[in-house]
Amino acid sequence: MCGVLIDEKDEAKLRSIGAKDSKLLTPRTREILFDQIKGMVKAHKIIITSPAEIDKVLLSKDSNLNWLEADISAKIINALKPDKAILDCPSPNIPAYKAYVKKKLDNKKVIIVAEHKADVKFPVVSAASIIAKVTRDREIEKIKKKIGIDCGSGYPSDEITKEFLEKHYKDFPDIFRKTWSSYKRVAGVKNQKKLGEF
C-alpha cells in the first residue's frame, strides 16, 4: 500500500500528467508515471505486507482484510502527517471504517475522506495506487529472479500463475498466502488425491 503527500493546490498537476486509477493504465505507462509522481509529490510512504502477515490477520478472529488495510492506512497517515487524508475505502460501512482509522491516528485532527473508488475520483489516490501497483509488480519480478521460474503476475486469472501454483505450491511456501482461495483449492485437491492413494 502507498500514500502520497501533496499540497492541494498542486493536485491538478497529477491529473495533467495522466495520473488515474492504476488498473486503467498499461504497465509501461505506470512505470513512466512512477518516477514523475515521486518527483512531484512532497513525500510518499510505501508499506509492503508479506503473505504470512496477511494470513495471520485472516486466520485471526479479531480482524480481516479491511481492518488490515485500515491499520496500514493509519500507519501511512501517521508517517506522512497530512492535514487531510483521502482513502479508497474497501468496506461497505464507510462511517465505521473512517472511525476505525481515526482511532489509530496520532493526530486526531486529520480530516478523513473515505470513499469507494477514490482511486478513480481523486488524482492523489490515483497517484498512490500507481506507486503501489508498480511496487507490487517489481516485487513479483524479484520473486521470479529469486526462484528462477516465471510465476506470472500473481493474479488468479493469469494462466501462468495458475500453472505455477499447480506445479509449485509446495516448493515455495513463503510466497503464497495460505488463505488465498486459489492456493487452498490447489492444496486441498492435491491432498485429497494423496489420501485417496492409501
Whole-angstrom distance, CA of residue 118 vs CA of residue 116 = 5
Band of pLDDT at residue 190, cut at 50, 70 and 90: low
Residue 154 and residue 137 share a domain: no
Whole-angstrom distance, CA of residue 112 vs CA of residue 73 = 11
Residue 168 and residue 96 share a domain: no
pLDDT of residue 195: 45
**Strand pairing of 43-46 and 84-88?**
unpaired
Residue 37 and residue 80 share a domain: yes
CA nearest neighbour of 112 among 102, 127, 126: 102
Residue 181 and residue 97 share a domain: no
Q: Residue 97's domain is classified under what CATH number?
A: 3.30.420.10
State yes or no: pLDDT of 198 exceeds 80. Answer: no
pLDDT of residue 24: 84
Could you list the beta-strand ranges (E) of the chain.
Answer: 2-5, 43-46, 84-88, 111-115
State yes or no: pLDDT of 20 exceeds 90. Answer: no
Residue 157 and residue 70 share a domain: no
Of 101, 119, 141, which marks where a domain is finished?
Answer: 141
Residue 60 and residue 127 share a domain: yes
pTM higher than 0.85 for the full model?
Answer: yes
Structural domain including 189 reads: 149-196
> b vs e for 19-53, b when ≥16 Cβ sit within 10 Å of the residue's Cβ?
bbbbeebeeeebebbbebbeebbeebbbeeeebee
Of 99, 122, 141, which marks where a domain is finished?
Answer: 141
Q: Counting runs of H as helices and runs of E as strands, what totals does the chain give?
A: 9, 4
CA Rg, the chain, in Å? 19
Read off the C-alpha cell for 145. Answer: 529472479
Tens digits of residue pLDDT in 142-187: 999 999 999 999 999 999 999 999 999 999 989 999 998 999 898 8
Strand partners, 87: 114
pLDDT of residue 189: 67
Average pLDDT over residues 70-94: 97
Residue 174 and residue 99 share a domain: no
Q: Residue 182's domain is classified under what CATH number?
A: 1.10.10.460
More confident position, 198 or 78:
78
Number of domains present in the structure of the chain:
2
Residue 131 and residue 40 share a domain: yes
Residue 76 and residue 15 share a domain: yes
More confident position, 77 or 191:
77
Residue 153 and residue 114 share a domain: no
Residue 153 and residue 136 share a domain: no
Summary mean pLDDT of the chain: 92
pLDDT of residue 103: 97
